[in-house]
Amino acid sequence: KPLPLLFTPIKMREVEFHNRIVVAPMCQYSSQDGFITPWHMAHIGGICSRGPGLTFVEATAVTPEGRITPQCAGIWDDKHIKGWADLVDFAHSQNQKIAIQLAHSGRKGSTVAPFLHYGMVATENIGGWPNDVVGPSEEPWDEYHATPNVLTKEGIKQLVQAWVDATKRALKAGFDIIEVHSAHGYLLNSFCSPAVNMRTDEYGGSFENRIRFTLEVVDAVRATIPEGMPLWLRISASDWLEESMPDSPSWRVEDTIRLAKILAEHGVDVINISCAGNHREQRMAERSLQPVLAGKVWEAIQNSDVRVKRKGERGEKMLVGAAGGVKTGQEGERLLQEHKCDVVLVGRQFTRDPGTVWAMAEDLDVSVYLAKQIGWGWGGRGSSL
Ligand code: FNR
């Protein structure tokens, strides 16, 4: 019986994943001064002792102002390394791969954690930084977000360096994969979108100018990580403004396809497709659902001869990741086979059931490896990770 694609191992550069189920990054709003807490160990530990191919920790800020809320996780200080290293060590003790998403919130920073109050600026007296929020232009996301300071060219340069420093810390902590967060309207993504970026310097205007910041970060991070380590980038494939603002310029799937090919030439191995978050007028349309857009990007990559740039050898085709409400093994398999992508990101289902990989394996009649502490109690089902 052929192995379902979902449980077929996949290799990127020198890193192999034992299946194609990837735990999506999910903010926990449970850190203190950027330091992760026992919550993260319990939450991520529970998931990654139950067999995903790769587990992402949440969007992790490269500077204090790059957090979304005062409770977001960070890696802007060497002191943060230890907490992350302990979590990574646990994942590795389970023979698991673990990834970090390096992020800057941009004009969506300094808000109150959504489970405390949705849509509210975090003021200074509760640890916020409303006067230090930055963006490509001065327009705030909405009235519940602080008005951004327009990032100067010097500021951009400093942030590229902040990504490099954060990358070095992530490597010290032992992460297997680094992802650059350029989705959901956060800083890099907001520069990409013509609906948000109103700059007139070389970081605004043309497509090439709007993607410049993202490419500078990608180049700097790629130059910092080992050649054998894959680099991921998460992108909002569409601003979802075609329906609500049809006459306005916006970031559309055609732009994502164009960017994907450029990213491959800059050494990005996986483009991780998400959507929207850039503009308050966004409206989801059926034809712009994430799996549909991921399929379009995947097809475009298959039909092009662009390869991921590697030192001294012809690289592989760029891989595509996609998320989108996957709960069961069948749904995951359908995303890979019918919508077309290479790895499936699963978010909320893992928060409901840390044993989601095991459940998906049962759905598809596959046996999985389980941590010995778990497997032996089920009559030796599976074997030790
Ligand atoms: C998210 N998502 C998200 N995405 C991201 O790139 N970085 C992040 O830190 C977060 N944080 C986050 C927190 C929470 C509570 C949720 C529910 C979502 C989006 C997430 O990675 C994923 O793309 C979506 O949840 C869609 O996948 P599911 O949940 O439908 O499988």
- Kindly report the pTM of this predicted structure: 0.97
Report the alpha-carbon angle 366-370-376, nearest 5. 110
Atom from ligand 1 closest to the CA of residue 326 = 31
- Please indicate whether residue 326, judged by its CB atom, sits closer than 6 Å to ligand 1: yes
Residue 74's SS3 state is: strand
**Of 43, 186, 191, 22, which Cα lies nearest the Cα of 102?**
186
3-state secondary structure 323-360: ECCCCCHHHHHHHHHHHHCCEEEECHHHHHCCCHHHHH
Q: How many residues does the chain have?
A: 385
**ipTM of model:** 0.99
Q: What is the pLDDT of residue 381?
A: 54
- Which DSSP category does 308 fall into? -
| CA distance readout (Å), 123 to 81, 112, 132, 136 | 28, 9, 11, 22
- Please indicate whether residue 69, judged by its CB atom, sits closer than 6 Å to ligand 1: no
> Ligand 1: distance of its center to the CA of 202 in Å?
32
- Please indicate whether residue 325, judged by its CB atom, sits closer than 6 Å to ligand 1: yes
User: Cα–Cα distance between 237 and 275 in angstroms, integer?
Assistant: 5
> Ligand 1: distance of its center to the CA of 368 in Å?
25
Smallest CA separation from ligand 1 atom 3, residue: 26
Smallest CA separation from ligand 1 atom 1, residue: 26
- Please indicate whether residue 183, judged by its CB atom, sits closer than 6 Å to ligand 1: yes
CA dihedral 250, 254, 256, 262 (to 10 degrees): -120
User: Cα–Cα distance between 101 and 82 in angstroms, integer?
Assistant: 17
> Ligand 1: distance of its center to the CA of 286 in Å?
19
pLDDT per residue, tens digit, the chain (385 aa), is 889 999 999 999 999 999 999 999 999 999 999 999 999 999 999 999 999 999 999 999 999 999 999 999 999 999 999 999 999 999 999 999 999 999 999 999 999 999 999 889 999 999 999 999 999 999 999 999 999 999 999 999 999 999 999 999 999 999 999 999 999 999 999 999 999 999 999 999 999 999 999 999 999 999 999 999 999 999 999 999 998 999 999 999 999 999 999 999 999 999 999 999 999 999 987 777 889 999 999 999 999 999 999 987 788 999 999 998 999 999 999 999 998 999 999 999 999 999 999 999 999 999 887 778 888 887 765 443 3
**Of 93, 99, 123, 121, which Cα lies nearest the Cα of 108?**
121
> Ligand 1: distance of its center to the CA of 381 in Å?
31
Crossing angle for the helix pair 81-93 and 153-173, nearest 10 degrees?
40
**Of 156, 313, 189, which Cα lies nearest the Cα of 255?**
189
Taking the alpha carbons at both ends of the chain, their separation in whole angstroms is 23
- Please indicate whether residue 335, judged by its CB atom, sits closer than 6 Å to ligand 1: no
Is residue 187 a contact partner of residue 137, using CB atoms and an 8 Å limit?
no
> Ligand 1: distance of its center to the CA of 376 in Å?
32
Q: What is the pLDDT of residue 380?
A: 60
- Which DSSP category does 247 fall into? T
User: Cα–Cα distance between 57 and 27 in angstroms, integer?
Assistant: 8
- Which DSSP category does 53 fall into? S
> Ligand 1: distance of its center to the CA of 1 in Å?
34
Q: What is the pLDDT of residue 385?
A: 38
- Please indicate whether residue 274, judged by its CB atom, sits closer than 6 Å to ligand 1: yes
Atom from ligand 1 closest to the CA of residue 327 = 31
Smallest CA separation from ligand 1 atom 30, residue: 325
Smallest CA separation from ligand 1 atom 24, residue: 347
Q: What is the pLDDT of residue 286?
A: 74
Is residue 297 a contact partner of residue 253, using CB atoms and an 8 Å limit?
yes
- Please indicate whether residue 272, judged by its CB atom, sits closer than 6 Å to ligand 1: no
Strand partners, 307: none
Radius of gyration of the chain (CA): 20
- Please indicate whether residue 53, judged by its CB atom, sits closer than 6 Å to ligand 1: no
- Please indicate whether residue 67, judged by its CB atom, sits closer than 6 Å to ligand 1: no
Q: What is the pLDDT of residue 288?
A: 73
Atom from ligand 1 closest to the CA of residue 24 = 21
Q: Which two tokens stand for residue 130?
A: 């409303």
Is residue 201 a contact partner of residue 256, using CB atoms and an 8 Å limit?
no
> Ligand 1: distance of its center to the CA of 5 in Å?
23
